[in-house]
Amino acid sequence: MRVGPPAVRIREVGPRDGLQAEAPLGVPDRIRLIAALAAAGLREIEAVAFVSPAVVPAMAGAAEVLAGLDRGSGVVYVALVPNLKGAELALEAGAEALDVTMSASPEYNGRNIGQTIEQSLRGLRSIRAAAGDLPVDATISCSFGSPYEGDIEPAAVASLAAQAVEAGATSLTFADTTGMATPRRVEELVAAVGPRVRLHFHETRGTGLVNAYTALHLGVRDFDTSIGGLGGSPFAAGAAGNLATEALVHLLDDEGLASGVSLDRLLEAAALAQSLIGHALPSPVAAAGPRSRLAPA
């Protein structure tokens, strides 16, 4: 029997978005975690970021991580790059896809990557030229609102997205960087940009899963998630991290939507992540296990 493509595609961002807020792990530990995620069936993994190690110490050694990964296993390893220099380093190191981040919030763009949005778009154009045939995803942060400007009109987000595509992005990810998305705002943004996009949610206000569920019903089939719900600082009140990969897979399994990911293997990867970082994960499914787990007799 032929196995069809997954109904829902997950880009695992734990090794990048998840680990960047944690105390740095060594390169071998990061490679082990990525291997465990690949073994769970994840086929696209944002593995590294080519950013300044002085600013984000947890992402140091990106080239070494990429060099240590099992290539040819059918997994696409993505590198986040903030600018052309990062992209050049990522390409040299053998990244198979790039993720370029920019923000729908001018203030956040300035604070996060020290650029105006115009500069970010110019940077994307130069990255596109350097990347040859490789996929270049544009992740647009603060797509559901900004802690600086407040609500951001879906039409403005859609306009920036169109400029990113014009500048060479081969796919688009809309990120809810600070947990301001709600089902209604997911509906509004998807109405503006269409369902053939990737969405990236955080649990800052506990809405990540309901937002993903809403998006599924609107036909969205691509999501960023992070193993264990890692992503927010575990030391800051209210920073509850990314939508957990196991939370989404738990929901998809129950809905009968194939993701190609094994929840059991994913929970093994979550246990590994917890042992490596040395504190409890924010994800309830990682802690409680799947709903099928019965009490001991």
8: which DSSP letter? S
Looking up tokens 């590198």, which residue turns up? 79
> Nearer Cβ to a second copy, position 130 or 213?
213
Give me the amino acid identity at 229.
G
Query: Which is closer to a second copy, CB of 88 or CB of 268?
Result: 268
- Rank residues 120 and 204 by Cβ distance to a second copy and give the closer one: 204
- To a second copy, the closest distance from the beta carbon of 214 in angstroms equals 8
CB of 148 to a second copy, least distance (A): 6
In the complex, least distance from residue 54 CB atom to a second copy, rounded to whole angstroms: 24
Q: Closest Cα to residue 199, out of 221, 232, 183?
A: 221
Distance from C-alpha of 191 to C-alpha of 182, rounded to nearest angstrom: 14
Alpha-carbon gap, residue 145 to 31, rounded angstroms: 34
CB 37, CB 228: distance < 8 Å? no
Count CB neighbours of 211 within 10 A: 26
Return the structure tokens found at 151.
Answer: 């609500």
Min separation Cβ 65 and a second copy, Å: 29
Cβ 211 to a second copy, closest distance in Å? 9
Nearer to a second copy, 64 or 188 (CB): 188
Cα–Cα distances in angstroms (integers) from residue 199 to residues 139, 221, 294, 296, in the given order: 9, 9, 33, 38
Q: Exposed, middle or buried by CB within 10 Å (0-12, 13-18, 19+), for 206? A: exposed
Query: Least distance in Å: CB of 224 to a second copy?
Result: 17
Nearer to a second copy, 50 or 223 (CB): 223
* Residue 137 vs 176, nearer CB to a second copy: 176
Contact residues toward a second copy (CB under 8 A) are 145, 147-148, 150, 179-180, 182-185, 203-207, 209-210, 213-214, 237-240, 244, 247, 250-251, 254-255, 280, 283-285, 287-295
